[in-house]
Amino acid sequence: MNINNIHDFNLNQENDFLTIQTKLKKHINLANSVSKDALQTCAGVDVAYWEEDGEAFGVCSIIVLDFHTKRVIEKVHSAGKIDVPYIAGFLAFRELPLIIKAAKKLTIEPDVFLFDGNGYLHYNHMGIATHAAFFLEKPTIGIAKTYLKIKQTDFVMPDNKFGAYTDIVIDGEVYGRAVRTRQDVKPIFLSCGHLLDLDSSYDIAMSLINRESRLPIPVRLADLETHALRAYYRENQKLAE
């Protein structure tokens, strides 16, 4: 898969990070570039970390599914040393090098990417799903397992039934949705990434839910794969090429 290299990662951390986020934020497009009916493929993306001898390492998994049959048609991954420390609000700069490295291995270009993480639901509207979209040039959706509290704003718990949701509104703007994907199970936190509106992001995500998890299938599979790969690399003490 071709990648649009919009910036490099030889950066002076927080100052450059904020400058890049502010620049890209102006180009976020929450209008639909594809309809749900036209989707043929979708991908889940996740990153997991570990430490060895005081150094941080990570692995990224991308799982591509046939949107209609939900069958896995391709999976790729990358692993490597992590050079960027965790800084609140700037997680994308820590994860993107591995995501880009993995995405370059794809022989199938997914119609939409679903990320284990936030998109527009972010302090500066630049969560991993949004930031990565500018490299991938594909519609993206953020699927977070936990709530990112912004400006001391809590979310309203959706009704305890499949498909129920409440919009997350901060200073009069909708940042995302708390969505109940299974009864009697905690909600997920869905947000647009780029090139999709919130209703379409919700419809796509809900069409990828099954009885096995509260997460959309591609995100769940990517999450499981990263954990398995992390265990493998930790045990064998070597990294992917």
- Known binding residues for Mg(2+) are 46, 116
Greatest Cα pair distance in the chain: 50
Annotated binding site, which residues?
Answer: 46, 116
Long-range Cβ contacts of 22-26 (<8 Å, 24+ apart): 22/124, 24/126, 24/130, 24/131, 24/134, 25/124, 25/125, 25/126
DSSP 154-205: PPPPPPSSTT-EEEEEETTEEEEEEE--STTSPPEEEEEEESS-HHHHHHHH
Under 8 Å CB-to-CB from 191, ≥6 apart: which residues?
Answer: 118, 119, 120, 121, 122, 127, 129, 141, 142, 144, 168, 175, 176, 177, 198, 201
